[in-house]
Amino acid sequence: MRKYVIPGICYLSIILILLNINDITDLLAKTLSNNPTLTISASNEYTKDEDYLFVKRSKDYIPYSYNDLLDIIYSVINNGWKEFTFYCPNEYYECKTDIAKITNDEGILTHINNFVHPYNSFSSIKTSITDSGEITLNIFYLYTNDEIAVINDYVKNIISNNIKEDSDDYENLKRIHDYIINNTKYDVTRNDTGDSEYKSYNAYGPVVSGYATCNGYADLMAIILSALNFPNYKIATTSDEISYESNGHVWNAVKIGDKWLHLDLTWDDPVSVDGKDYLYHKYFLVSTEEMNESDSGNVTVEEHNFNKAIYQEFITEKENND
């Protein structure tokens, strides 16, 4: 009897294999091509539905170039995902080298981070790369849910008290600009020592304590601009773009109508020698040319030097033609 059982089991196994041949073939093909199925989660409520000239939302998360890797990293952060795994295809020979180059460069990661909503911005990224080309990104976000709730209440209050239906965009944003400056002081201590009792390095600082560094001003303004549905991002100048000692600088870019303009609350809220509070509009909704004019004088300000290869919305038609 036993001699009939074994062949029967073998025939059954063959039948099962034949019935599932397509699934097995697909799995084998994906394994051999190093292109496994990706797990795509839903994005969160702060995901921007926008593409930029430097980074765009990825469609399939399969990289074939350096720029594809930039788009994937931007998309993962922009979607608010805490972890994401994707794979280098065999035909992209430099994939592992390029992803290591990008994720080990704090400067380029900072620039990518500037294009997402502040609530989806990261405090750090951990990357693992296997020999087979499996890449996993672990994102550690800057804001807690409790901080977001507090900031959102503040933002709703600002908008309800300063946005008027009979005013144009310029006047409405000017009232918000002035309100933030009138209720915030620059955190000199953090700037000088790198430490402070206030969380002035993000939007929670100006909201709760009334103190901010440039990051705090820019994040709060970016959150408000997004709440008002203005296309916007932050611009960062890194220290290597400045000839004198500086920690770099961050400010806002916003699209009004069909024009991208600069908006810098930090420089419109100067730290004065006489201790008085001043409110300027020198850096309120200005073009790059107007900003450079404001930076010129006895001492040329370099904190607004920025890389136009990254913030390409500010490349002029003449520069494009050149």
| Residue bearing tokens 């600009």 | 177
Q: Pick from 141, 175, 192: which residue ends a domain?
A: 141
Tally of structural domains, the chain = 2
Do 84 and 187 fall into the same domain?
no
Lowest mean pLDDT among 68-77, 78-87, 142-151, 235-244: 235-244
Do 232 and 110 fall into the same domain?
no
**pLDDT greater than 90 at residue 261:** yes
Residue 302's pLDDT band (cuts 50, 70, 90): very high
- Which residues are 126's β-sheet partners? 138
Mean pLDDT of 289-293: 95
User: What average pLDDT is seen over the chain?
Assistant: 89
Asked whether residue 82 is assigned to any structural domain, the reply reads yes
Residue 205's pLDDT band (cuts 50, 70, 90): very high
Do 174 and 292 fall into the same domain?
yes
Q: Pick from 141, 156, 181: which residue ends a domain?
A: 141
Picking from 215, 208, 196, the residue whose alpha carbon sits closest to that of residue 264 is 215
Tell me what pLDDT residue 270 has.
87
Tell me what pLDDT residue 22 has.
47
Do 300 and 184 fall into the same domain?
yes
**pLDDT greater than 90 at residue 247:** no
Residue 272's pLDDT band (cuts 50, 70, 90): low
Q: Which domain holds residue 220?
A: 145-321
Task: Supply 53's token pair.
Answer: 């000239």
**pLDDT greater than 60 at residue 12:** no
Do 242 and 283 fall into the same domain?
yes
Do 123 and 151 fall into the same domain?
no
Do 170 and 304 fall into the same domain?
yes
81-113 tens-digit pLDDT: 999 999 999 999 999 999 999 999 999 999 999
Do 101 and 169 fall into the same domain?
no
Tell me what pLDDT residue 284 has.
98
Q: What's the Cα-to-Cα distance from 161 to each of 68, 97, 175, 185, rounded to whole Å?
A: 43, 51, 9, 21
**pLDDT greater than 70 at residue 25:** no
Mean pLDDT of 19-29: 44
Asked whether residue 221 is assigned to any structural domain, the reply reads yes
Do 185 and 274 fall into the same domain?
yes
Do 86 and 177 fall into the same domain?
no
Asked whether residue 86 is assigned to any structural domain, the reply reads yes
Asked whether residue 56 is assigned to any structural domain, the reply reads no
Q: Is the dihedral of CA 140, 145, 150, 156 positive or negative?
A: positive
Query: CATH number, domain at 212?
Result: 3.10.620
Nearest-angstrom CA–CA distance, 190 and 98: 35
145-176 tens-digit pLDDT: 999 999 999 999 999 999 999 999 999 999 99
Do 101 and 153 fall into the same domain?
no
Asked whether residue 59 is assigned to any structural domain, the reply reads no
- Which residues are 139's β-sheet partners? 125
Asked whether residue 1 is assigned to any structural domain, the reply reads no
Do 310 and 265 fall into the same domain?
yes
Asked whether residue 73 is assigned to any structural domain, the reply reads yes
Tell me what pLDDT residue 10 has.
43
Residue 252's pLDDT band (cuts 50, 70, 90): very high
Contact call for residues 295 and 304 (beta carbons, < 8 A)? yes
**pLDDT greater than 60 at residue 31:** no
Contact call for residues 267 and 291 (beta carbons, < 8 A)? no
**pLDDT greater than 80 at residue 18:** no
Query: CATH number, domain at 86?
Result: 3.30.1370
Q: Pick from 89, 111, 141: which residue ends a domain?
A: 141
